[in-house]
Amino acid sequence: KALAKNNSCESLWLSWNEINAEGARSLAAALVENSRLEKLNLSTNQIGTEGATAIVNALKSNSSLRQLNLHNNGIDPTFDSVLADVLKVNRGLVKLHLGQNYYGHKSMLLLAQSLKLNETLQGLYLSTCSIRSDGAKSLAEGLKVNHTLNELVLSYNGINFEGARALAKALKVNTGLQEFSIAGNRIGPKGARYFAKALKVNTTLQHLTLSGNKIKDVGTKAIAAALKKNKTLLVLNIHFNMIRLDGARAIASSLKVNKTLETLIVTDNDLGKESGVEFSQALMENNTLRNLRILFSNIGAEGIQEIAKALSVNSTLNSLGYCDMVLKDNEASILKDALERNPNSSLIDFKTNCISPTLQDEIHTLVRKNFHRTLNSDRKAEIKRIRLMIVGQGKAGKSATVRSLLGKSFNPNWDSTVGADVQEGVVLKNLWTRQKLQSDQAARFAVRLMKQKLPTRNAQKNRSAKSRLTWKRSHTDERSQSLINTDSAKGETFAVDTVEIEGENVSLPPSVPSDEEYIERDPLLNTFSVFGDNGSVSELERQYDSDFILQTTDAVDALTLSIWDFGGQEVFYTMHHIFLTSSGIYLLAFDSRSLLDPVASEDAKQYILFWLRSISLHAPNASILLVGTFAADVKGNFAVLDKILNSFIKDRFPQLLRSSCDYFFPIDNKDLLGIADLRLAIKNCAVTDSALKQEVSMRWMSLLDSIIEKSKDQPYLSFSNQVCNMAADVGILKQSEIIEAMSFFHERGFVIYLDSTAILSEIIVTNPQWLVDMLSKVIRDDSFHITAGDFKQSGLEAEAKRAFSTGEVSLDLLEEVWKGQPIDFLIDLMKRTMLMSEWRKGNSYLVPSLLRRGKYKAPSDLEYCNCLKFDFTETFLAFGVFQRVVCLCVEYLFQKSKLDEHEIEVGPDFASFLFEKDFKVHLLNEQSSQCIFVYAQGPKLFSTFLKILHSMISKVNADVMHGKLKWTVQLRRIKETEFLSLDIARSQQVPGVYVPTFEDQERLVAVDLDSFLEGL
């Protein structure tokens, strides 16, 4: 009953609770009502076939449940027909655990048929289900057609080489399966050979478990030969397979050639001590294997010592497991000696009991010392992080797409996005998850560096002394002293800021060596230790122990996405320009149904074109993925949609990534249709993006940690007074490098850094979501996100109505929506980004973005005016240019004390104001022709106004549009029909003509807003 009404619980674990069929039926009834639960674990209960039937039948109507575990519940084969029918129609279930229930091989025929139709199931777990070889053959037929299942477990099912042959044939054509386990079966050497043949051609399988199958040396040799050709397998488990020296020799030989395998498990085999030599030689050449498990494989002390020799050279192995006998310390000390000789070593974890605790502690100390050494270095590497920006028309399903990408269930009641929603996404192997940005970036970065080889000693010796992480402020030169707050420049030594892991300080274990051990100068890096001259351990060092390093090793290779889900309503378009970046991946979403709707089709085309042009303007080199949502409703019409898109897009946007449907990626968030393909496309775009190749230093990452830590209580920082001091604390002394770091952090979505003017560049917004939220409290759509009635209690309802109808926002209204926030800072920021201008002195402001379309009409006597046409067709008249020009005009008149509220009228696409006595000007924004028209009554001051307006557009272009806009200016005289270029007009001696020059533009726009307006 509680579950049926609950709207917050996403995971429910009820395993080992003796739940019977009656309890399962009650849960099934709740699932029909519940639309929030995503994971349900009922393993090891007593629900039986009757209870399982009730649960899965509920999935015919429930589309939110993503993972269902019915492992070990006494379910018999009569359940399979029900399950098969449900899988044909359910579009939500992603993982299904059915292990340790008796199905038999006949049941697999029905399951295989449903797999041919199901397009959402990604994980199927069928261990100990008595499938046998006949059942495996049936499943293989389903795998030949299904391309969405990426994980399949068939362990302990009595499958022999015939079943293996069928499954291997399926793997030759299957392009979806990434993890496959057939452990504990009876495939033997013959079956291993079949899988070896599949590995030579398969390009998607990443994890293969063949343990406990008696493949022996013959089967192992076949697998080893396949490894020399395979380029995708990451994990191979051949544990407990009666493998001897010949098999070990073959596997070791393959490691010398294979460049992708990361984990090899050969435990519980009889490899012999000679295999240690083979693996040692392989590890000296291999630079990709991270985990090697050879526990209980009879390699003996001699074999272990041979492998230890490789550790003096190998720089990638971070986990080594062996356990045959307890070695004496003098025998095992070779491991320690090897690690001491190898500064590149990333060996972290030992799964063994063959080394004494004392020696284990000493080896772990070396690992931590390597980690600390890396923290102190100025080495560089890439950070695998990129912005993913989702744009498009309102109600196109952008937020639902983000949820689908991050593994969240579809929510039909999700509110429309206000402004933008900023979140962190992580892609590790095939798992997409959401995470919180933590201030441990430097430590994670150091773990990645530990896996890379150090530069040569000669290169290290040539490093400048200025590259030290820790330094004495008393040693800095005058230029760097200018960046430091003089109150704190006292000559003390500074270490990296404190970092927390999940809110707690994590201390090193008691085996940490004494401080004195770290005081000496580091001969490898030619730099001083971050522990300081007095040998005190820095807080950053203290919080990261070997467990952290080990746990982080895989995670540091994950792709991190800074995901920006932009609100689709037009009111937000003007402020979006602040947040769009020149690098990243753009996902442009549109409702597929709208292009097929005769009424909505034209608008849909214009929105798609608008965004394609906007992205091309801001990010001409960024990848664009065009995504058609609600694809399940238009299935069968993909070719028609592609033809429609081709009719108006053609080849105008080369950065548009093509899909299997050519122009667009069809997806449906209700049933996850096409999500796997979209994820793969995003990942491919990210790893091939040249922006990800930029390397950064440990100092930059330490500075980033300081900024992230500050963001917890300070949404913005001063560049000169705070950020420069933080940079100085980690050894970044040059202002140019600090600016470069801030620009980098901005592009990657860590901060907001607007560098178009000196004043704007003084502000570093540490919490981008905070700034989006603050701007969106003013710039929002009253028909979606807020109404004037929301201000009734505060007595500001009338002022709210005026804001949404005339664009005039009172100071009282701003104080209400920004209660408790730095109001002066926010007003100044909105003015400097030209989102707002003064209106009535000290009382109200004009926000043109709030104005509704269609409220104002241009005067009817414009034919009696001189007309200027600013034509942007060479590039694009971006949304927000006109609104910002209006802001500048109003601000200019306000500062010149010429603003007469009775002589000005402003609309979404029109503005009219008295520039001087007897000189009235009208501005008209015409998106359809990509032009701004200026009408002036009378020739007086015409040339002056032309110069001012041209400068204003140039200012908007420089500060907001990254200088990407191009335009021409033409003149049409009173009662004439033809437009003349300004050059021709001047040659014809038309009065009042001013021809702008590049020098004029550069001189005026390269200043802050106040100086710019004063210069006009």
Tens of pLDDT along 139-182?
Answer: 999 999 988 898 999 999 999 999 999 999 999 999 889 899 99
Give the angle 213-216-217 at the CA atoms, nearest 5°.
150
Distances (CA, A) of 987 to 338, 977, 980, 991: 83, 19, 11, 10
Tokens of 386: 């990129």
**Mean of the pLDDT values across residues 642-649?**
92
- Kindly give the residue spans of alpha helices, DSSP state H, lying in 45-131: 48-58, 80-89, 107-117
Cα 219 to Cα 213: distance, rounded to the nearest angstrom: 10
pLDDT at res. 541:
43
Cα 402 to Cα 390: distance, rounded to the nearest angstrom: 8
Long-range Cβ pairs for the range 362-367 (8 Å, 24+): 362/336, 363/335, 363/336, 363/339, 364/511, 364/546, 365/511, 365/512, 365/513, 366/336, 366/339, 366/340, 367/339, 367/546, 367/549
Of 355-364, 608-617, 835-844, 968-977, the range with the lowest mean pLDDT is 355-364
Give the angle 566-571-576 at the CA atoms, nearest 5°.
40
pLDDT at res. 172:
94
Cβ atoms 764, 753 nearer than 8 A = yes
pLDDT at res. 900:
64
534 pLDDT band, cuts 50/70/90, is very low
**Mean of the pLDDT values across residues 453-466?**
39
Cβ atoms 240, 213 nearer than 8 A = no
Cα 943 to Cα 991: distance, rounded to the nearest angstrom: 8
Of 189-198, 665-674, 722-731, the range with the lowest mean pLDDT is 665-674
* CB atoms inside a 10 Å sphere around CB 653: 16
Q: Is 700 helix (H, G, I), strand (E, B) or coil?
A: helix
**Mean of the pLDDT values across residues 839-864?**
72
Strand partners, 235: 207, 263
Residues of the chain with pLDDT > 70: what percent? 81
| Res. 568: pLDDT tops 50 | yes
| Res. 478: pLDDT tops 70 | no
Q: For residue 44, what are the contacts with CB-CB under 8 A and spacing of at least 6?
A: 15, 16, 71, 72, 73
Strand partners, 160: 186
Nearest to 907 by CA among 853, 859, 870, 869: 853
pLDDT at res. 425:
92
**Model's pTM, two decimal places?**
0.74
pLDDT at res. 354:
62
pLDDT at res. 469:
29
**Mean of the pLDDT values across residues 198-225?**
95
Of 109-123, 289-303, 332-346, 907-921, the range with the lowest mean pLDDT is 332-346
pLDDT at res. 160:
96
Provide DSSP, 319-374: EEE--SS---HHHHHHHHHHHHH-TT----EEE-SSS-HHHHHHHHHHHHHHHHHH
| Res. 514: pLDDT tops 50 | no
Cα 298 to Cα 325: distance, rounded to the nearest angstrom: 9
Of 261-275, 340-354, 355-369, 648-662, the range with the lowest mean pLDDT is 340-354
| Res. 540: pLDDT tops 90 | no
Nearest to 827 by CA among 569, 842, 852: 842
pLDDT at res. 875:
87
Tokens of 727: 């940079």
The tens digit of pLDDT for each residue in 916-944 reads 777 888 899 998 899 999 888 766 667 77
| Res. 343: pLDDT tops 50 | yes
Nearest to 573 by CA among 796, 776, 765, 409: 776
Question: Strands 910-916, 919-926: parallel, antiparallel or unpaired by DSSP?
Answer: antiparallel
**What one-letter code names the amino acid at 979?**
F
Nearest to 271 by CA among 222, 306, 226: 306
Locate tokens 């989102």: which residue? Answer: 835
194 pLDDT band, cuts 50/70/90, is very high
Of 113-127, 340-354, 857-871, 971-985, the range with the lowest mean pLDDT is 340-354
Tokens of 479: 């230029």
Long-range Cβ pairs for the range 679-683 (8 Å, 24+): 679/405, 679/427, 679/432, 681/625, 681/657, 682/388, 682/405, 682/561, 682/585, 682/587, 682/625, 683/427, 683/559
pLDDT at res. 147:
83
Helix%, strand%, coil% for the chain, nearest 5: 45, 15, 40
Per the document, the length of the chain is: 1016
Distances (CA, A) of 927 to 537, 596, 610, 870, 932: 62, 24, 10, 12, 8
Mean pLDDT estimate for the chain: 81
457 pLDDT band, cuts 50/70/90, is very low
Q: Which of 46-50, 391-395, 487-491, 840-844 has the highest mean pLDDT?
A: 46-50
Tokens of 565: 């889900």
Cα 395 to Cα 771: distance, rounded to the nearest angstrom: 23
pLDDT at res. 358:
73
Residue, of 2 and 373, whose pLDDT is higher: 2
| Res. 480: pLDDT tops 50 | no
Cβ atoms 333, 304 nearer than 8 A = no
pLDDT at res. 940:
62
pLDDT at res. 914:
82
Cα 462 to Cα 441: distance, rounded to the nearest angstrom: 27
pLDDT at res. 266:
94
Cα 950 to Cα 968: distance, rounded to the nearest angstrom: 10
Cα 750 to Cα 421: distance, rounded to the nearest angstrom: 14
Residue, of 270 and 512, whose pLDDT is higher: 270
89 pLDDT band, cuts 50/70/90, is confident
**Mean of the pLDDT values across residues 588-597?**
94
**Mean of the pLDDT values across residues 972-980?**
81
**Mean of the pLDDT values across residues 410-431?**
82
